């Protein structure tokens, strides 16, 4: 009996336990840690495409894009027009084109939103609201 008790006590003392029993023994330092990678891509403004010399009719253009949830989708735009393969095709944002073009037809379609609203507070502070900007002028 004494022999069994001694062996039992030695076994209990010699057992080693980890602080977290659910952690793997060979867990690396990066396991389970989220990595944050900064997106260094710039906003799209325009791109140029040169077609091969055998191109005569542009049938369609297809755009592949990534959604907010990470899924990939595509949109196909049918064109079906003759093209000259010497010409370079440009895909460009319309807003950039409108801002740099001075054509009267493009400028007339834009609604004027430059109404300035002024609020005077006890002749101490003057607030000027112009679209999305706020100007504060004080007596000081």
The whole-number average pLDDT for the span 75-82 is: 91
Task: Note whether 54 and 85 are within 8 A (CB).
Answer: yes
* Each residue's pLDDT tens digit, 57-66: 989 999 999 9
Task: Note whether 113 and 131 are within 8 A (CB).
Answer: yes
Q: Where are the domains of the chain?
A: 43-109, 112-140
Cβ partners under 8 Å of residue 50, min gap 6: 88, 89
Per DSSP, the residues of 52-76 read -TT--EEEEEEEEEE-TTS-EEEEE
* Each residue's pLDDT tens digit, 5-59: 888 888 777 776 677 777 776 655 555 566 678 888 888 888 888 889 999 998 9
- Only one residue has tokens 């330092």, namely 29
Spacing of C-alpha 13 from chain mean position: 57
CB atoms within 10 A of CB 110: 8
Reported pTM: 0.42
The whole-number average pLDDT for the span 111-130 is: 78
Instruction: Please tell me the predicted confidence (pLDDT) of residue 2.
Output: 85
């Amino acid at each position: 009996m004494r022999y069994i008790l001694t062996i039992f006590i030695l076994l209990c003392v010699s057992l080693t336990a980890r602080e977290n029993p659910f952690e793997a023994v060979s867990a690396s330092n990066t396991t389970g840690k989220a990595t944050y990678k900064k997106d260094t891509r710039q906003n799209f403004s325009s791109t140029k495409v040169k077609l091969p010399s055998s191109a005569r009719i542009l049938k369609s253009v297809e755009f592949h894009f990534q959604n907010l949830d990470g899924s990939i989708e595509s949109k196909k735009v049918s064109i079906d027009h003759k093209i000259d393969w010497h010409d370079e095709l440009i895909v460009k944002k319309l807003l950039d084109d409108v801002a740099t073009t001075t054509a009267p037809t493009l400028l007339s379609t834009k609604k004027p939103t430059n109404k300035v609203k002024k609020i005077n507070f006890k002749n101490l502070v003057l607030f000027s609201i112009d679209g999305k900007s706020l100007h504060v002028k004080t007596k000081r």
